[in-house]
Amino acid sequence: MADYWKSTGKHYCDFCKCWTADNKPSIQFHEKGKNHQANVKKRLAEIKRNSIEKRKKDEKSQHMFQEMEKAALAAVQKDMNSSDVSIGKADMRNIVKAHSKTEESGNDDINNKDIYPWQVMAGPQGTTYYYNAMSGGIVDD
């Protein structure tokens, strides 16, 4: 007779970090136990705590980026008002104008901002032009 021993499967519980027999009664017995129930509650509380911390961190990052954008806009306005900068003044005016329009409407959608459509183009005699890809406008420097 060819009798051989066959191993039964094992089930790993992620909550308790332990192994049980891989059959329905053993798994149900384990899942109804106090230790397993406590481990499940502990894991759910940990997930909730982590999600709250992540949301707070995201809100803090968003606030930081808003402050950076305000500082950048203030720098652009300062550069626009200074007499030293002559290159790209039209572009800076468009940035300030587009940003003020979005603040008035209360919409921060990047598609509504006319900030970055400008490209630097070289003319045939070496002159520099700024081309607005959205409006088709050309500004010479």
Domain ranges of the chain: 9-70
**Looking at residue 45, what is its pLDDT?**
92
**Looking at residue 81, what is its pLDDT?**
67
How do beta strands 138-140 and 10-13 pair? unpaired
Instruction: Inform me whether the pLDDT recorded for 31 exceeds 50.
Output: yes
| CA dist., res. 28 & res. 31, Å (int) | 5
| CA dist., res. 27 & res. 20, Å (int) | 7
Instruction: Inform me whether the pLDDT recorded for 73 exceeds 70.
Output: yes
Residue bearing the bigger pLDDT, 80 or 114? 80
Task: List, as one string, the DSSP characters of 56-91.
Answer: HHHHHHHHHHHHHHHHHHHHHHHHHHSSS--TTHHH
| CA dist., res. 135 & res. 141, Å (int) | 18
Count CA atoms within 13 Å of residue 114 on its CB side. Answer: 17
pLDDT in tens, 39-62: 999 999 999 999 999 999 988 988
| CA dist., res. 48 & res. 108, Å (int) | 30
**Looking at residue 17, what is its pLDDT?**
93
**Looking at residue 116, what is its pLDDT?**
58
pLDDT in tens, 106-133: 544 444 444 456 677 776 667 776 666 6
Q: Tokens for 29?
A: 């017995």
